[in-house]
Amino acid sequence: MPAAHNLSPKQDSAVPAIKLGNTRVTGKEQFYTPLQSADWVVAQVLTHFPHTRAATWLEPSAGTGAFIKALQRQNIVDVIAMDIEPHFAKVKRQDFLTWQPNVSGLVAIGNPPFGRNNSLSIPFFNKAAQVCDTIAFIVPRSWRKWSVTNRLDLNFHLAHDIDLDINYVDVNGADVYAKNNLQTCLQVWQRQNDVRQKVVIAETDLLSKCSPQEADIAIRVFGYGCGEVMTNFDRKSNTTMMFLKLHSDKVLPALQRLDFSIYFNNVAYTQALAYSEIRYALAKELA
């Protein structure tokens, strides 16, 4: 991947598991971010981007006010906060996506609703991009995929990316789920003068999708064993498998050398590998 398209230029090692929350997934579910976690996120932003301390901050899905409290503990009180269902006195009742702002240069922070296939988190980001210079959101790790980043405001570039383990809490701070498999990260994006280029994966004549009966190989693309390249496989349709016809003798050895984990681990839940990612990794290996 060219440097300009690096989706996590400052991706750090995973931090210890801490409780995190999302105010809602499809619109109004009551999942919230614990103060401990909000403190950590605010500290990350201030440490890596100290200039943000002097800005006005925006919390577009403020819920119980965890990020407001965390900012106050850092002596930051210039905060615009809203939520469709607020549970904190300093949070305005307002649907962020219909908000009509007359401000600019803000720093957005929070844990926006995700929605199915990021149907809410992406609109939240692009709305924030209208008035912000820095956006720091807790998001699913699928935000590292081109299918997401290509839909984000292209004036923003990823500047910081770190894994997080997440547990939801309710309005009273109690665990909603003692354990869950949602995989998230903290990403900080910054406005830049140059426009980020979308990642476009070129077509290839090295391989093509085909039926199980025609296939030379199968690659497991979903669930346990994701990324496994198989030459011996059951020639029956299987939703966890991708069947491929190879058009060059150099393709199979290259695929067998590849480590696809950088792609199939960038998901919110179950490991998954896209055909575009296979093509991209293969082209890079054979370049």
DSSP string, 46-110: HHH-GGGGGSPEEETT-TTTHHHHHHHTTT---EEEEESS--STTSEE--GGG------SEEEEE
Q: Lowest mean pLDDT: which of 50-54, 171-175, 260-264?
A: 171-175
Q: Is the pLDDT of residue 18 over 60?
A: no
DSSP state of 232: S
pLDDT in tens, 163-205: 987 676 667 666 665 345 678 999 999 999 999 999 999 889 9
Q: Residue 269's pLDDT is what?
A: 87
Higher pLDDT, 202 or 44: 44
What's this model's pTM, rounded to 2 decimal places? 0.84
Q: Residue 3's pLDDT is what?
A: 33
- Give the architecture-level CATH label for domain 6-191: 3-Layer(aba) Sandwich (3.40)
Q: What is the mean pLDDT of residues 97-113?
A: 96
pLDDT in tens, 263-283: 999 998 899 999 999 999 999
Q: Which of 135, 92, 133, 145 is nearest to 112 (CA)?
A: 135
Q: What is the mean pLDDT of residues 76-100?
A: 94
Q: Which of 233, 60, 274 is nearest to 148 (CA)?
A: 274
Q: Residue 253's pLDDT is what?
A: 98
State how beta strands 229-230 and 241-246 pair: unpaired
Domain extents in the chain? 6-191, 207-286
Q: Is the pLDDT of residue 32 over 50?
A: yes
- What DSSP element (H or E) covers 253? helix 251-257
Q: Report CA torsion sign: 4, 270, 116, 139.
A: negative
Please check whether residue 243 is in contact with residue 234, taking contact to mean a CB–CB distance below 8 angstroms.
Answer: no
Q: What is the mean pLDDT of residues 132-151?
A: 96
